[in-house]
């Protein structure tokens, strides 16, 4: 039985997807966020990168040309992403600076831990 997705777990999915492509900058930026503004800027930029990689119904994004290996785009629609962002905003809007920092580190660590899972279990072949 799988656990239900939460807005934070879906952010982790997006970040792990980007990390599986070798683009760790978004995870690092979130992990280094020290306030609500830098936290949300990192989330915004990671969602923008997700859209860039997964536009037009693209399902598989290559990360290793030699092996023609790729990873599947997380299946998120724009209305889902809007709800996710609003939920995350609600979560951190009344949080203390320390809690924002703790949450940013937690999400970043979860995303890093999920990268191998994304590559192995959600991999795909590119042509």
Convert the pLDDT of each residue in 63-94 to its tens digit: 888 888 889 898 888 888 889 889 999 989 88
Chain Cα centroid distance, residue 17: 6
Residues of the chain below pLDDT 70: 1-3, 123, 127
Q: Which residues contact 1 (CB under 8 A, 6 or more apart)?
A: none
CB 36, CB 55: distance < 8 Å: no
pLDDT number for residue 2: 56
pLDDT number for residue 67: 80
Which position has the token pair 């656990």? Answer: 3
pLDDT number for residue 50: 92
State the Cα angle at 14 between 10 and 19, rounded to 5°.
Answer: 140
Beta strand extents in 7-90 (DSSP E only): 60-64, 69-72
Tell me which residue of 59, 69, 57 sits closest to 116, measured CA to CA: 69
CB 63, CB 16: distance < 8 Å: no
């Amino acid at each position: 039985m799988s656990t239900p997705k939460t807005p934070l777990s879906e952010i982790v999915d997006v970040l792990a997807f980007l990390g599986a492509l070798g683009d760790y900058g978004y995870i690092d930026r979130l992990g280094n966020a020290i306030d609500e503004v830098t936290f949300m800027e990192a989330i915004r930029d990671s969602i923008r990168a997700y859209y860039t990689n997964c536009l037009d119904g693209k399902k598989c994004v290559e990360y290793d040309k030699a092996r023609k290996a790729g990873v599947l785009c997380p299946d998120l629609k724009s209305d889902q992403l809007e709800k996710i962002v609003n939920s995350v905003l609600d979560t951190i809007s009344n949080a203390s600076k320390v809690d924002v920092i703790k949450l940013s580190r937690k999400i970043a660590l979860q995303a890093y831990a999920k990268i191998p899972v994304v590559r192995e279990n959600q991999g795909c072949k590119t042509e």
